[in-house]
Every structure is written in structure tokens, then in C-alpha cells.
Structure 1
Amino acid sequence: MSANFQNICKLSQNKTCKKHISPSCWTVHNHILLSVIEGLPEIIETLEIVSNHSSNTSLGDELSDLLILVSKFEFIFCLKFLYRVLSVTGILSKELESETIDIFSLSSKIEAILECLSSERNDAYFKTIWDGAEEICQKITSKGFEVERPSFQKRRKIQKTVDLGKSDSMFFPTSTEEQYKINIYYQGLDTILNNLKLCFSEFDYCKMKQISELLFKWNEPLNETTAKHVQEFYKLDADIIPELRFYRQYAKLNFVIDYDCINFISLGCLFIQHGLHNNIPCISKLLYIALSWPVTSSAENSFSTLPRLKTYLCHTMGQEKLSGLALMAVEQELVNKLMEPERLNGIVEKFIHRMKET
């Protein structure tokens, strides 16, 4: 038993890997799933031994119940399915948690993730997951353990989505495999795709990209139409065009920084260093807004504060989606209510000063 347990937990450079499962560390969840998938026969064997030899009756019963759950074909199939999804969406998670996130290319990366998942909504990719689950079942049964196979419910009427965006139809499945394809695989993919589109709405991303262009692209011609849209949306007090004309020329002449590596935090440091927050208050307010986005904070600060923020929002917003981009909706209401700019300036200066010290 000890040898089996050590085999499950051992570190490997190219396959399974023991990771810290922080509630916000989404980038490592696919590695954890892969560890469970590859070590499932040993996990079942270990659970069997521990549950049968445990002196604690209550613990033994809990382990027996867990053993029954992980020995089901449905559990194994869902493990394979979830890994296939998270291994792709994990690429986006790493980008969102990176300190060097490229906001201007984020839209195309999100689109690639959506297209990747949409393209796998067919029989061939379902068959790949089904066969992978069958292979794991064979490894488990080869060790002398049983896998609970799915039962076919002949007269169960289910909804079949023919294609995304089209009408649904009702039908009677003809096999267990078809039940899994429609009830779990297709419906699961549809739910994931819809949630991704909801979390990364074009409207929220457009506002974030517009502010980023105004603050970062000082070497390019000023788009006054975009500037006016941002000014009207955030109800800025003064005309932002003169401030942008001055800011762009000042940045070209005085900002000594790698233009390709700048982010909102380093830009905030430059604003304080050059005293720009007093000269261009409207642009400074846009910078304050950008610094409040979770997507602009460092990974370390996200991991320490994001779970608390999500808990608060769950209690105050119900089932609203809590992605970094969706949280902009919260920020939009607060920006319009800020009546003490001097106090806000002091808070931002202290925040950026603390970031420089760390």
C-alpha cells in the first residue's frame, strides 16, 4: 500500500506533477486531473486496502463510498472530458494571470479557445474521450477491481442540440454511448462555451482595450473618436483630447522604459515620478480605473485577494460571473460615484509605492 501511495504522489518532469491546489490557481488544475487519471488504478487499489483495514469505522465507510464513486465509468469519462477542456482553457488562464499580459492580443486568444472547443463538438472527438475512458477501465479491471458500467435507459427522452444557435429537438437515444454524447459531452461543451462568451463579453473587452490604447500607444496617431467614447462612457469632467495630446508628446520625450514591456503598474510609477496625476487628471482617472481591474494585478496579489473578493461578490451579486473582465461592471458603477479625487489620488499613490517596494 505504501509503495502504491508513493507511486501516486511521485513527481515527474514530463507527466504527472504534484501541485498546490489554491482555489485561484486554475492553471494547475489540468495537471492535477492528469495525475488522477494516470494514477487512478493505484488510487482505487489504495482506497480498497485502507477502507478494509481501517480501525475507524466511520472513516472506513467514507472511503468505501469514495471507492464506489471513483470506480464508476461516468466518473472516469468526466475526468477525461474535464481534462480535455481545462488543458485548453488553462492556456487562457496562464495569460490572464501573467504579469506581462498582452491586452491587445487577448481577444484573438479568447477567440482561438472558443473555436478550438467548438470544433471538437462532433462524434470523432467524443469517441476519443470514450475510448480513453475505456482504456482506463481496462487497466482497473486488470488489477482485479470492477468498474460500474453505465446502464442504458431505453425510454428516456432527452434533448438533442443539433448545432450551436439552432433549434433543439427531442429524441430517444439508441445506446448508452449516444446518451453520454448528448447528455454529457455536447451539453457540457455548450455550457462551457456559453459561460466563456458571457465572461469575456465583447463590450467589456472593448472598453478595456480602448483605455489601454489611449494610455500605452503614445507613439501612434491619436484616435479622437475612441477618446470621446471613453470620456462619455466614464463621464469624465473635462475634455480628454487636450490632455491626451500633451500626454503623448510628454511620454515620447520623457518616459525611459522598454515600450514593449510596459504595464499599468509601471505606468503608474511613471505618473507619480513625473507628477502627471496633477497635470492630466482625466487620464489619471483612466489609469486608476485600469489599476482596479483584477486582470492588471500581479499573480501573487491575485492569489491572495481574489478569493476574498469573489466571496464578497457571491454574497452581493448572486450567480453573476466573476471573471476579471466581468468585474469591470462593478468598477463602472463605483467610478461615477467617486466624489473625493484627492483621497483617491492618495490611495493610488500608496498602492503603487507599496508595489515598488515589493
Structure 2
Amino acid sequence: NIVKSLDSISEWSDTVTSSKAHNLSKALTCCEFIVSLHSISNIFSVTSPISRLLQSKNQDKLSATNIIQSVLSTLKTKRQNSVDVFAEIFEICKSNFDELNISLTLPRLGNKMLNRANPKVKSPDEFYRVAIFLPFIDNIICDLANRFSKEVVEIFDLDLFLPDVIIKVFLNKYILGNKIQNIMDKFGEILIKHLSYSKDSINIKLAGEIELWHEFWINKNKIQSGEIPKTAIDLLEYCEELLYPCISILIQILSVLPASTSSAERCFSSLRRLKTWTRTRMGEDRLNGLALIHTHKELEIDIEDVINIFAKSSRKLNFVL
């Protein structure tokens, strides 16, 4: 395993390498590190579905909102039952301590401590629960609550104009009414400014456009079920501005909101897989090209064109197939 390998490397004659390996081994066999690792694993096992969902290309905002609330509720339950939850985590940590021959002791506590946690506890498991597990889960809960506040979640209501969503919620007048009300509260001033109508007129006009928009996609879904757009950007070409002036403006807003696309996040995930330590000298053009191909797998690339471009470039060696 990693610790055994580091211990072996720490005995090398190369002082620089052995010193680094020794320091890494000490860090990995530290009680704080092992407890932190298992605490993170426990919490991230709950939050990972959000990460996958929000990085998917075609996001279902309604499902995303429900899952986010479920995750927050689960984390708050873990926080309330932190004694029992951490007891299970600490049992796993103990098996690692025994395997690595780590002695479990209570860290030194003082009356005044500035650089690390100093809770007044009497047992190691209580210390690590208070000093590591609770601050971490509290931070995650606060961060998720801030990132997905009521103002942010209300923006998700713009997904009403996606065909799959409007077909699904149109018959539920309660959900539909809430979405329209949230949209008007959030973006009503923009519609009034661009269309020069009163607020009451905008309300009536938007309601009528939504009925037409729903009927349009119901009919199109029956005729061409395979050509229904899944993203706001793809939806723009179907939205005639003269016919749907309110919806057109709202779809344009949805298209540029960070909450409606995760292309950047997918690119970051691609870069982690592409630019490894064995490819650190890769040029920027090649890296950008590989990242785009990896992210947009639906693009068809003509291999013959690639070969022709490659063959035309100047090379010291002859290009032979």
C-alpha cells in the first residue's frame, strides 16, 4: 500500500527523496488525517449526486431542486445525530489505526489555544467529532444553503419553457401558477421595460403565450419525438420572437445564466483527465482540441481530413500509413 511504499522510499540513500517520503508517511499516518479522510468520504457520499446532476448536459431543474433539498435534509439529520454517525466513522478509523500501528491518544489540550481546536473533552473520539466532523458538516450545510438559496432556486423556474418541463407540469395548475408567479416577481420588470406593457398586461400576455407554447410542443412531440431540444440555447431557434415575445426574452435570460449550463465544469473535469503529469508539456492548441473533443462527444470528426491536415504539416520524418 501507499504507506509501506513511502516507508520503503524513506530508507533510500537519496536524502531529498527519502525526506519527502518520510514527511508524507507521517502525514498519512496522522490520526487527524485519517479521521478527516473518512469524515469527508461520509459527507461526500451524500453530496456526490448533486455534483453529477448539476454537471449533466441536460439538467432537470425541478429534479435538481428536489434533490438539493433532500441532500440538505439528510445532512441536517446527520448533524443532529452526529454522535451516532461519527461513532460509525470512528470504528472504521480504528481499523485503520490498528492496521497502521497508530496509537490513538487525546491531543494535548490547553487553557488557551490559537492555532488548532481546543475543545474541553475527555476522549479521543469526542475530540475528533467536535474538532473535525462537526465543523466540516456545518460548513457543507451552510455552503449548500447559500449556494441554493431561495433567490437562486427561483431562477430554476425559467426551465418551465423547456418542452419536457412544460408538458410535465402544465396540467398541474398549482405548480404552474407558482412558477409563473416566481418568474413575474423575478423578471417582470425586465419584460415591462423591453415590451413597454403594464404589469397586468404582461401577466395576461405571458399566460397566453404559455398556453400556445405548450400546445406547440404537444403537437411537435407527437410528430417529431426525436427532435425535442433539451437546452435553452437549442430552444431559441424554435421560439419566434413575434409570436412569443415574453417567452423569447425569458429563454434568452435562461441561456446566459450560470445556473442553466455546466459547460465550464465539464471542461474542468475533462482537463483533470487529459492534462496528467505525463502530459504536462502538451501545447495549448492540442490541449484545447482534446478537451473540446472529450466534452462534445456528439461531434463527428472525419478521420481522412485529420490525416490530410497532419500530413501537410512540416515534419522531419515521412508520414506513412
TM-score of the superposed pair, with normalisation by structure 2: 0.66
Q: Structure 1 or 2: larger helix share?
A: 2
- Give the RMSD, CA atoms, in angstroms: 3.5
> Which position in structure 1 is the counterpart of 2:159?
212
TM-superposition CA deviations, 1:197-222 (whole Å, max 9, x none): 1111122111222x222554264466
Partner Cα distance (1:260, 1:119) in 2? 42
1:229 maps to 2:177? no
Give the one of 83, 91, 108 matched to 1:153.
108
Partner Cα distance (1:63, 1:132) in 2? 25
Q: 1:252 to 1:138 in 2, by over 3 A?
A: same
1:199 maps to 2:147? yes
Q: CA deviation at 1:125?
A: 0.9
1:296 maps to 2:260? yes
Q: CA deviation at 1:190?
A: 1.2
Partner Cα distance (1:58, 1:229) in 2? 63
Pairing 1:225-304 to 2, within 5 Å after superposition = 225-234=181-190, 236=192, 237-238=194-195, 239=197, 240=202, 241-242=204-205, 245-246=208-209, 248-253=211-216, 256-257=220-221, 264-265=230-231, 268-272=233-237, 274=238, 276-277=240-241, 279-297=243-261, 302-304=265-267
Bigger-Rg structure (1/2): 2
Q: CA deviation at 1:245?
A: 1.7
Q: CA deviation at 1:95?
A: 1.2
Partner Cα distance (1:307, 1:196) in 2? 24
Task: Name the count of aligned residue pairs.
Answer: 251
Q: CA deviation at 1:172?
A: 2.4
Partner Cα distance (2:210, 2:41) in 1? 47
Q: Is the 8 A contact 2:97 2:103 kept in 1?
A: no
Q: 1:174 to 1:48 in 2, by over 3 A?
A: same
Q: Is the 8 A contact 1:118 1:193 kept in 2?
A: yes
Give the one of 2, 12, 17 matched to 1:53.
12
Partner Cα distance (1:49, 1:270) in 2? 59
Partner Cα distance (1:171, 1:51) in 2? 35
Q: 1:133 to 1:356 in 2, by over 3 A?
A: closer
Q: 1:213 to 1:289 in 2, by over 3 A?
A: same
Give the one of 94, 101, 113 matched to 2:52.
94
Q: Which segments of 5 or more consecutive residues in structure 2 lack a partner in the other structure?
A: 272-295, 301-321
Q: CA deviation at 1:107?
A: 2.3
1:114 maps to 2:72? yes
Q: Is the 8 A contact 1:51 1:64 kept in 2?
A: yes
Q: CA deviation at 1:303?
A: 2.2
Pairing 1:303-342 to 2, within 5 Å after superposition = 303-304=266-267
Aligned AA for 2:20?
E
Q: 1:275 to 1:109 in 2, by over 3 A?
A: closer
Q: 1:181 to 1:355 in 2, by over 3 A?
A: closer
Over the matched positions of the two proteins, sequence identity in percent amounts to: 19
TM-score of the superposed pair, with normalisation by structure 1: 0.60
Aligned AA for 2:248?
S
Partner Cα distance (1:355, 1:307) in 2? 12
Q: Is the 8 A contact 2:156 2:259 kept in 1?
A: no
> Which position in structure 1 is the counterpart of 2:134?
186
> Which position in structure 2 is the counterpart of 1:135?
95
Q: Is the 8 A contact 2:154 2:182 kept in 1?
A: no
Aligned AA for 2:93?
A
Q: CA deviation at 1:105?
A: 2.5
Aligned AA for 1:152?
P
Q: Is the 8 A contact 2:6 2:21 kept in 1?
A: yes
> Which position in structure 1 is the counterpart of 2:63?
105
Q: 1:49 to 1:102 in 2, by over 3 A?
A: same
Partner Cα distance (1:244, 1:54) in 2? 78
Pairing 1:35-50 to 2, within 5 Å after superposition = 42-50=1-9
Greater CA deviation, 131-140 or 176-185? 176-185
Aligned AA for 1:64?
H
**SS of aligned partner of 1:99:** coil
Q: Is the 8 A contact 1:214 1:227 kept in 2?
A: no
> Which position in structure 2 is the counterpart of 1:74?
32
Partner Cα distance (1:154, 1:270) in 2? 61
**SS of aligned partner of 1:152:** coil
